Amino acid sequence: MKISTLTLGCLLAAASPALVNAQTQDEETRATRSRFQVGGYAEVAFTRNFYTDNIYKNQPNSVNNHGKSHGRFDIPHAVVYLSYDFGKGWKMSSEIEFEHGGAGGAYEKETDEGGEWEQETEKGGEVELEQFWIQKTFLPELNLKVGHIVVPVGLTNTHHEPTEYFTVYRPEGESTILPCTWHQTGVSLWGRHGDWRYEAQFLPGLDALMFSQEGWIKDGAKSPYEFDVANKYAVAARVDNYSVPGLRLGLSAYYGHSINNTYETMTGSHYQVKGAVVIGSFDFHYAGHNWIVRGNFDYGTLSDAGHLNAVTVNLPNNSPYAHTHVGDRAMAGGVEAGYDLFSQVKKLRQKGQRLYLFGRYEYYDSYHPADGAIDYPYTEKHRLAAGLNYYPIPEVVIKGEYSHRFLKSQYDDEPSVSLGVAYAGFFTK
């Protein structure tokens, strides 16, 4: 997709940073584009999982469920972008996301609570204002953004559109241990000069009571209230380099306190600790010679996990918080590579069609037990995936993949087949 305006470039710095190069286009081209922009992305997926969906499958003495399987259709994400350039450097942008078909009333089986059924005010999905911000551009090197923004930690949060990864669903490792897409209300300072782009953010801290064994800090950015509690604060930063043609290298980091960042300030020894979350991440993207190669590695630590576990396991059953142990560290790493087979067929190449044959490997572990805590070895996983991505036009992709999730030897592996159709683009000129 080719984007050619400063207006759209500034919007996409958050909504789709992969296209941030657009901000350097000339003034004459910029003037021909509408100040009001409408766009979005969406994906439809079908999966057949060749393993049981029994919530006790990883528990000791579980019933043998070899040969069981289950399938599902889903709309993981459907997003609408709206932005407007007011002029004189002032812009606004919003992003409304419908996850899993939107909201309604539904029953859910809570795997973290022994399979207990709970009635939720949602239809297996959510409707969220994922982004809403106002920005003032002083220079290409200096932009100030205030509002609900994407936290650019990790590869997937920074490049989360379905045309920016090969797998049918978002890369599994990062989307397991980190909020994805990670969005919070805060302040961002960003800019680009030459081959360097930077972003620094000031944010409310995460809520440690939302952390979990199988998701680490994934749900920590969510609030069960009508507002985000901000008793604690955090900072995030990212730097990208584009010096080598076709190659982007990125480093990102996060630091913030999380314990006692909830509606009612608690007292007692367990709440005199910080629960400091520290995350470091490296990622890259290369496109050239008919290849696309991407990769990431994320490592995070949580201080005072033992104190936190002593609190969460004793929370009332009707509280909106997680009731599981959380690990004192987590990690995720992955790499994927795809080659455009149609690049070798002149007629298809001239039509702009692409067919990528890809492979992906990733490793992740959402739970490393704090001192004295119970170990849950099934949280450590390796995953292999292979498949095809067909682009009939640049904005639309049809995906197919086979994946195999490898667990420790005492657990069953988890193979699956998935198909998906997705788009990402802008509807206005």
Interstrand relation of 396-406 and 414-426 (parallel, antiparallel or unpaired): antiparallel
Residue labelled with tokens 């005199």: 272
CB atoms within 10 A of CB 48: 13
Closest of 157, 150, 146 to residue 130, by C-alpha:
150
Cα end-to-end distance, the chain, whole Å: 13
Which amino acid is it at 103? Answer: A
Closest of 226, 163, 214 to residue 3, by C-alpha:
163
Tell me how far CA of residue 214 lies from CA of 111, 177, 181, 239, 417, in angstroms. 10, 8, 17, 29, 23
Distance between CA 20 and CA 14 in Å, rounded? 9
Q: Which helix (H) or strand (E) holds 15?
A: helix 6-15
- Domains within the chain, CATH numbers bracketed: 6-426 (2.40.160.10)
Tell me how far CA of residue 351 lies from CA of 284, 290, 345, 391, 398, in angstroms. 29, 15, 10, 11, 17
Q: Are 162 and 113 in contact (CB under 8 A)?
A: no
- Across the chain, which distance is largest between two alpha carbons, in Å? 71
Q: Are 186 and 205 in contact (CB under 8 A)?
A: no
Q: What is the pLDDT along the chain (429 residues), one digit of tens a residue?
A: 333 443 334 433 444 443 334 444 434 444 456 899 999 999 999 999 999 888 777 776 655 555 689 999 999 999 999 999 999 999 999 999 999 877 655 556 565 555 666 665 545 567 888 999 999 999 999 999 999 999 999 999 999 999 999 999 999 999 999 999 999 999 999 999 999 999 999 999 999 989 999 999 999 998 877 788 899 999 999 999 999 999 999 999 999 999 988 876 665 655 678 999 999 999 999 999 999 999 999 999 999 998 888 887 777 666 667 778 899 999 999 999 999 999 999 999 999 999 999 999 999 999 999 888 889 999 999 999 999 999 999 999 999 999 999 999 888 899 999 999 999 999 987
**pTM for this one?**
0.86
Task: To the nearest 10°, report the CA torsion of 112, 116, 120, 124.
Answer: 70
Give CA 375 to chain center in angstroms.
26
